[in-house]
């Protein structure tokens, strides 16, 4: 595990370019095994999740090459094989191989995924989707066995109990090559879902309704990549740099963003009193003046993302009144709270799982641990605002999903160092 050393208390300035979205590429890579030809992506973030997905591909005899933000995946010699459980457990999105392998071979054997420690993360809705398509699903010793080889994979109707990004994408991956028509109700509408559908349709899939509550899929037998697919900008990384810019910036331009994907976040910043300059694909954050406390309730897209609640917390510590965060998606997602308290933040969790943030004096640097990716982002921003040195341990959790973070921070004149 690596460690990050931060010398806090300096104002930051300049510009930063947002990379491709983690939650987009981690679905696109498993989806690429459905193709009958090599697939190319650009604007691929250099994050540990991508490298671990490449290891999983390799175990299936799928070659991949990654350099300079360009990734090629060649699934033409794919073989069914045992997937490496260490890599599978290193990230959440390895569960997309369930849907992708089911679509490709009509069966899949995949261990339970890993990912962030943010409270219970069941996969019952994914399983419900596979069963609705005719698969039999069993679980033994932490491994999920999904099999539709006896009667084939057939289109069906899927009704989700709750809106789930992962279950929606897994259902799409499985149904794309199933026999007949599938309708999926109560689906997630995140931009990453709209993009994966556009990637699959571009290869010959027949999927409509992405971005609405119901997706309809007419199965096809062959997919072939015709174009290089560009990964969409990471709206969570953008929210992280927006937070940093408000917390400690003297004028920061955030480039390569889709402002529409950020509306819930930028609206909250405006409500706090931040005067953002929102352009077509960039946002300028001037030095902030007085900030007001706000109430935040996380929700599925287009609501305020759960993945933003921790990065925005150090900004709320600098407000002139109390703020309250209610995470409806992951009510127990609070790994940053104790660590921020160690730095002197006035922050607490109530019995009913609200995070209450009071105006706090200047934080002080100390050693804290990045319990998960967004808690880690929160601590990095806090460390940049704090007096003295902050050591963030367990930074592999941050490197799972933040592209070139040290380079980007030093580009903004931060004093940050990664110790491997
Ligand atoms: C790789 C990826 O894209 N990760 C994102 C994805 O995770 P992920 O896809 O795992 O999250 P979901 O959208 O599935 O989870 C939403 C809610 O549904 C619940 N649920 C989900 C599936 C299921 O079968 N049963 C069930 O009860 C979850 O516990 C959670 O409370 O969406 C989350 C919510 O926006 C984000 O925080 C993650 O960054
Ligand atoms: C929860 C997250 O990631 P994952 O689903 O990959 O664990 C996240 O990106 O904030």
Mutation probe of ligand 1 site: the residue of 113, 162, 231, 330 with most atoms within 8 A of C-beta: 162
Alpha helices in 229-281, H assignment, sequence order:
235-248, 263-272
Residue pLDDT, tens place only, 375-413: 999 999 999 999 999 999 999 999 999 999 999 999 999
CA 40 to chain centre: 21
- Virtual CA dihedral for 11, 16, 22, 25, nearest 10 degrees? -170
Q: Is the CB of 374 under 6 A from ligand 2?
A: yes
Residue 349 reports pLDDT greater than 80: yes
Residue pLDDT, tens place only, 170-203: 999 999 999 999 999 999 999 999 999 999 999 9
Mutation probe of ligand 2 site: the residue of 235, 307, 371 with most atoms within 8 A of C-beta: 307
Q: Is the CB of 329 under 6 A from ligand 1?
A: yes
pLDDT at res. 361: 85
Residue pLDDT, tens place only, 206-229: 999 999 999 999 999 999 998 999
Task: For residue 116, name the pLDDT band (cuts at 50, 70, 90).
Answer: low
Residue 118 reports pLDDT greater than 80: no
**Which domains, ranges and CATH numbers included, belong to the chain?**
3-19+233-419 (3.65.10.10), 22-230 (3.65.10.10)
Distance CA 96, CA 176 (A): 13
DSSP code for 180 = S
Residue spans of beta strands (DSSP E) within 156-315: 157-159, 181-185, 206-208, 214-218, 228-230, 249-255, 277-278, 282-285, 295-297
DSSP code for 296 = E
Which amino acid residue places its CA nearest to atom 33 of ligand 1? 165
> Which position among 49, 116, 195, 327 bears the catalytic label?
116
Q: What pTM does this model have?
A: 0.98
Ligand lying nearest the CA atom of residue 306: 1
270: nearest Cα among 291, 241, 249: 291
- Beta bridge partners, 145, equal 109, 138
Clarify whether 116 is annotated catalytic. yes
- The interface predicted TM-score (ipTM) is 0.99
Q: Is the CB of 166 under 6 A from ligand 1?
A: yes
Residue pLDDT, tens place only, 273-296: 999 999 999 999 999 989 999 999
Ligand lying nearest the CA atom of residue 114: 2
Contact at 8 Å (CB) between 418 and 2? yes
């Amino acid at each position: 595990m690596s460690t990050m050393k931060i010398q806090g208390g300096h104002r930051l300035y300049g510009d930063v370019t947002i990379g491709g979205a983690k939650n987009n590429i981690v679905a696109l890579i498993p989806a690429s095994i459905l193709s009958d030809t090599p697939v190319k992506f650009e604007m691929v973030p250099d994050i540990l999740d991508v490298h671990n997905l490449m290891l999983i591909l390799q175990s299936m005899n799928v070659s991949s090459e990654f350099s300079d933000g360009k990734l090629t995946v060649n699934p033409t010699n794919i073989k069914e094989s045992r997937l490496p459980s260490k890599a599978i457990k290193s990230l959440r999105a390895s569960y997309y191989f369930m849907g992708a392998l089911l679509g490709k071979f009509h069966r899949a054997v995949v261990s339970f995924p890993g990912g962030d420690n943010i409270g219970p993360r069941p996969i019952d809705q994914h399983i419900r989707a596979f069963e609705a398509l005719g698969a039999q699903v069993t679980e033994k010793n932490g491994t999920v066995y999904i099999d539709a080889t006896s009667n084939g994979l057939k289109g069906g109707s899927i009704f989700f109990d709750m809106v789930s990004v992962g279950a929606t994408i897994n259902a799409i991956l499985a149904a794309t090559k199933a026999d007949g028509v599938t309708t999926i109700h109560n689906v997630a509408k995140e931009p990453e879902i709209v993009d994966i559908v556009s990637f699959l349709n571009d290869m010959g899939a027949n999927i409509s309704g992405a971005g609405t509550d119901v997706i309809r899929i007419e199965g096809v037998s062959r997919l072939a990549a015709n174009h290089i697919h560009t990964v969409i900008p990471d709206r969570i990384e953008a929210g992280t740099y927006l937070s940093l810019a408000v917390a400690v910036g003297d004028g920061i331009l955030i480039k390569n963003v889709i402002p529409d994907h950020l509306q819930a976040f930028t609206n909250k910043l405006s409500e706090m009193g931040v005067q953002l300059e929102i352009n077509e694909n960039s946002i300028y954050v001037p030095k902030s003046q007085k900030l007001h406390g706000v109430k935040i309730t996380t929700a599925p897209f287009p609501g305020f993302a759960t993945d933003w609640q921790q990065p925005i917390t150090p900004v709320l510590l600098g407000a002139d009144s109390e703020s309250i965060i209610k995470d409806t998606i992951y009510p127990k997602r609070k790994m940053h709270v104790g660590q921020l308290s160690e730095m002197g933040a006035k922050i607490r969790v109530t019995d009913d799982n609200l995070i209450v943030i009071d105006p706090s004096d200047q934080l002080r640097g100390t050693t804290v641990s990045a319990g998960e990716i967004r808690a880690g982002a929160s601590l990095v921003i806090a460390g940049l605002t704090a007096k003295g040195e902050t050591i963030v341990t367990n930074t592999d959790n941050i490197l799972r999903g933040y592209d070139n973070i040290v380079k980007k921070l030093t580009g903004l004149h931060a004093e940050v160092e990664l110790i491997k």
